[in-house]
Structure 1
């Protein structure tokens, strides 16, 4: 099976498993203090291709932009989401929603989707997606937690890991870290040993005021992750993708 990946923006990615396209964590608009920091490759939901399914890791707006996603015409497209989110997805008009706890699975078309652990200060999961022997890990914006190491023993070889890297901290919460940073993402790559790793979740900015008062990031430069992975996870090839660029695995 041919598999490809294309970033839309932030942690919103299109994964194509032999024509079965899965959308991750849709974010298709902006609002004050939530700026994408790069030109997204899909302008609106009506520009999305036909989807086999959608996965959503958690309810934060920059990962779960349901108001913008309402424009997607197929209201029967299946969703796999963190437990507790189905009511909001159905309220946006989508009828086929499955909630998952870590290690529970469902299918979106031919793609098996398994929720995996995450920690972000709100209910969240990450995902492993598999079809025809090809396996992809989607890291959403979790912290680097030990529970993620179990993915390696449960799923074996990964073709691709999509890893958040900006190390986001919340200033009003005493600079509490809520997302893994580039070095921590490289350490996760060391454990998971994916053939390829693509950094995600790094261009976001909360704007000049928000960056002073609300958020603090460790890096917005994906090359920092590439350098860390070169030292920590040398068996993994890092590919940095601009939005809209298609990478075939």
Structure 2
């Protein structure tokens, strides 16, 4: 575990921002919305299934997967060298820059709780290099896996309200509100800022929206990477791009979108993800959140095809849009 002095909470540049909450103290989105009403969830999860209204697709699909080049990721790039990102499946990434290695939303257990893998994780915990901190975007089981984090034993950076859950597992935790930052690694370190997302949070019956959700901007000396976490398309992307101009990569979800009437308030379609990318003004689009777990009704291998069709329709250069294989490493030159 890194020394406590290496992980320091610091307010970001907007001290006047107040984290939005509802009258009961639960977290809400920037537009004031919270989780969808139970009647909506019941309609999708039960009624539409019983009436045969939901789109049918196989529970499995072929998704590109390759072994991680362990020698390549063993040490993070030194300051001044290109940042490096490795997709570990779903929303999990190993992000390495300026001598620091960070894991974002690692779910590396062979059988995560309530989840069934379509492809194995890109790395086993025992094969990881030294990790300076784990970043958790929100508390849903496909993003916060206590088994992985407990085995990792690295300090965790997460949203407000998450500390009791993590400290009960023996994990040192730094909590952030939106636009707050933590510095990871020896001075000057890498700055990690929690930024807004359009989503919600729950793990049990009584904790609805009691733990904050968000995305992360990871800033080294010369490069910056944005990880959106789970999010719908919302106006916050333009604000993130304004506050963090010139993002070198935007890691954006392209799966778990069908049916749109239900999912578009919490997830993005591939077409919406490209709109978010343009609003952010980032240099590279890196796809995530598809192919690993069967969460919604679309085929597991459909999102990349729709992404490519929309890229071509919009005339975006192919070299700016990346759909890595699980286990693939990209250098952000």
> Is the shorter-chain TM-score for this pair beyond 0.5, marking a shared fold?
yes
Q: What residue is the counterpart of 2:269 in the other structure?
A: 181
Q: What residue is the counterpart of 2:118 in the other structure?
A: 37
| Equivalent-residue separation in structure 2 for 1:59 and 1:169 (angstroms) | 22
- The change in CA–CA distance for 1:37 and 1:31 in structure 2 (over 3 A counts) is same
| Equivalent-residue separation in structure 2 for 1:4 and 1:237 (angstroms) | 16
- The CA deviation string for residues 165-205 of structure 1, in whole angstroms up to 9 with x for no partner, is 1143589xx83432111011000111112111110001133
Q: What residue is the counterpart of 1:78 in the other structure?
A: 155
| Residue 218 of structure 1: how far off its partner (Å) | 7.4
| Residue 152 of structure 1: how far off its partner (Å) | 1.2
Q: Is residue 153 of structure 2 the alignment partner of residue 66 of structure 1?
A: no
Q: What residue is the counterpart of 1:128 in the other structure?
A: 217
| Counterpart contact for 2:90–2:293, Cα < 8 Å | no
Q: What residue is the counterpart of 2:129 in the other structure?
A: 49
Q: Please give the TM-score of this superposition, normalised by the length of structure 2.
A: 0.65
| Counterpart contact for 1:113–1:130, Cα < 8 Å | yes
Alignment of 1:155-174 (within 5 A): 155-168=244-257
- The change in CA–CA distance for 1:60 and 1:170 in structure 2 (over 3 A counts) is farther
| Counterpart contact for 2:87–2:122, Cα < 8 Å | yes
| Equivalent-residue separation in structure 2 for 1:121 and 1:108 (angstroms) | 26
- The CA deviation string for residues 82-132 of structure 1, in whole angstroms up to 9 with x for no partner, is 11111111122212x111111111112221011111122323111111001
- The change in CA–CA distance for 1:134 and 1:181 in structure 2 (over 3 A counts) is same
Q: Secondary structure of the equivalent of 1:153?
A: helix
Q: Is residue 325 of structure 2 the alignment partner of residue 245 of structure 1?
A: no
Which structure dedicates a bigger proportion of its chain to strand?
1
- The CA deviation string for residues 139-176 of structure 1, in whole angstroms up to 9 with x for no partner, is 112111112210111111110000001143589xx834
Unaligned runs of 5+ in 2: 1-79, 202-211
- The change in CA–CA distance for 1:108 and 1:231 in structure 2 (over 3 A counts) is farther
- The change in CA–CA distance for 1:36 and 1:198 in structure 2 (over 3 A counts) is farther
- The change in CA–CA distance for 1:117 and 1:5 in structure 2 (over 3 A counts) is same
Q: What residue is the counterpart of 2:46 in the other structure?
A: none
What count of residue pairs does the alignment treat as equivalent? 235
- The change in CA–CA distance for 1:78 and 1:242 in structure 2 (over 3 A counts) is same
Q: What residue is the counterpart of 1:101 in the other structure?
A: 177
Q: Secondary structure of the equivalent of 1:99?
A: strand
Unaligned runs of 5+ in 1: none
| Equivalent-residue separation in structure 2 for 1:233 and 1:191 (angstroms) | 16
Alignment of 1:145-164 (within 5 A): 145-164=234-253
